[in-house]
């Protein structure tokens, strides 16, 4: 259930809130949308901060489940996820900053709009850095699931593909922005990896017999 909250929160904050309010290359329209929908914008921030928070216990649960498969690889999963979460949490300052700029009496409208635009650009690049680590998390988790025997291999393959897409898109944002913009639609489709993983855990869970067999073998 925690995983579902994180995925749903990401869709809400990234696609519905920022995707709906931020108008690319139009600082005035973006500023107007944020001021006109302040509560929605604040809610998007709070939701994203909340799912960063609950990602910590989730990844510790994953460690408990998967350490019997490959302890070193599971530790990589934990490290990549926690680092990515920490980076995203810090970058949320750039998400909240426009509310400060746009309501500051010491700034002109033009200055506030320009600072808002720059803050959201900074957030976008910071989020791309976080996705590098989440991409590495997906690669590692995909390999774990593929080796586990208590979860379907196809989920591991889908997660591995999603990890590759995250890495390509993030590095593309820094090296070839035009390519990354075209690649983003593929990135959205690749999200089926995490969705499949989440839904399988909710509906089917792990194969407890095979998990226990691995646990006994590990002992």
24 contact partners, CB below 8 Å, separation of at least 6: none
Structure tokens at 91: 């970058």
In DSSP notation, 79-91 reads HHHHHHHHHHHHH
Q: What are phi and psi of 181, to 5 degrees?
A: -60, -40
- Residue whose C-alpha is closest to residue 211's, from 6, 62, 35, 31: 62
Instruction: Divide the 219 residues of the chain into consecutive groups of 10 and give the mean pLDDT of each group.
Output: 85 85 88 93 94 94 93 96 96 95 92 94 93 95 94 94 90 84 67 88 85 69
What pTM does this model have? 0.90
pLDDT of 206: 86
């Amino acid at each position: 259930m925690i995983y579902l909250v994180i995925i749903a929160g990401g869709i809400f904050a990234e696609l519905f809130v920022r995707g709906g309010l931020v108008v690319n290359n139009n600082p005035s329209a973006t500023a107007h949308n944020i001021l006109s929908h302040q509560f929605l914008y604040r809610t998007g921030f709070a939701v994203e901060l909340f799912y960063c928070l609950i990602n910590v216990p989730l990844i510790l649960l994953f460690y408990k489940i998967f350490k019997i498969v490959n302890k070193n690889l599971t530790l990589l999963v934990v490290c990549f996820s926690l680092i990515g979460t920490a980076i995203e949490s810090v970058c949320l300052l750039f998400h909240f900053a426009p509310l400060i700029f746009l309501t500051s009496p010491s700034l002109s409208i033009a200055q506030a709009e320009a600072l808002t635009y720059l803050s959201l650009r900074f957030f976008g690049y910071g989020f791309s850095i976080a996705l590098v680590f989440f991409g590495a998390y997906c690669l590692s988790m995909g390999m774990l699931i593929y080796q586990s025997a208590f979860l379907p291999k196809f989920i591991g393959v889908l997660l591995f593909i999603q990890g590759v897409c995250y890495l390509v898109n993030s590095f593309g944002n820094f090296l070839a922005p035009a390519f990354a913009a075209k690649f983003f639609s593929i990135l959205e489709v690749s999200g089926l990896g995490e969705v499949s993983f989440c839904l399988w855990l909710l509906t089917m869970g792990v194969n407890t017999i095979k998990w226990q067999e691995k646990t006994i073998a590990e002992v």
